Chain A
Amino acid sequence: AQSVTQLDSHVSVSEGTPVLLRCNYSSSYSPSLFWYVQHPNKGLQLLLKYTSAATLVKGINGFEAEFKKSETSFHLTKPSAHMSDAAEYFCVVTQVASGNTGKLIFGQGTTLQVKP
Chain B
Amino acid sequence: EAGVTQSPTHLIKTRGQQATLRCSPISGHTSVYWYQQALGLGLQFLLWYDEGEERNRGNFPPRFSGRQFPNYSSELNVNALELEDSALYLCAERGPGYNEQFFGPGTRLTVL
Could you tell me which A residues sit within 8 Å of B by CB distance? 32, 34, 36, 42-46, 49, 51, 90, 94, 96, 101-109
Q: Contact check: which of A43, A49, A103, A108 meets B97 at CB < 8 Å?
A: A49
Contacts of A102 in B (CB 8 A): 31, 33, 45, 48, 50, 55-56
Contacts of B42 in A (CB 8 A): 106-109
CB distance from B74 to the nearest CB of A (A): 13
- Smallest CB gap from B33: residue in A: A102
CB distance from B62 to the nearest CB of A (A): 18
Number of A-B contacts (CB under 8 A): 56
Q: Contact check: which of A46, A90, A96, A101 meets B43 at CB < 8 Å?
A: A90
Could you tell me which B residues sit within 8 Å of A by CB distance? 4, 31, 33, 35, 42-45, 48, 50, 55-56, 58, 90, 92, 94-95, 97-106
Complex CA gap A106/B106 in Å reads 16
Given known contacts A43-B90, A51-B97, A109-B42, A103 and B104 CB-to-CB distance under 8 angstroms: no
Contacts of B100 in A (CB 8 A): 32, 34, 46, 49
Q: A101-B98, A104-B43, A109-B42 are in contact. List 6 more A-B contacts (CB 8 A).
A: A49-B100, A102-B33, A103-B58, A104-B35, A106-B43, A108-B42
Q: Is the interface of B mostly helix, strand, loop or mixed?
A: strand
Q: Is the CB of A103 within 8 A of B48?
A: yes
Given known contacts A101-B94, A106-B43, A43 and B99 CB-to-CB distance under 8 angstroms: no
Contacts of A46 in B (CB 8 A): 95, 100-102
Q: Is the CB of B105 within 8 A of A43?
A: yes
Contacts of B44 in A (CB 8 A): 106
Contacts of B95 in A (CB 8 A): 46
Q: Is the CB of A96 within 8 A of B48?
A: no
Contacts of A94 in B (CB 8 A): 99
Q: Is the CB of B90 within 8 A of A104?
A: no
Contacts of B106 in A (CB 8 A): 42-43
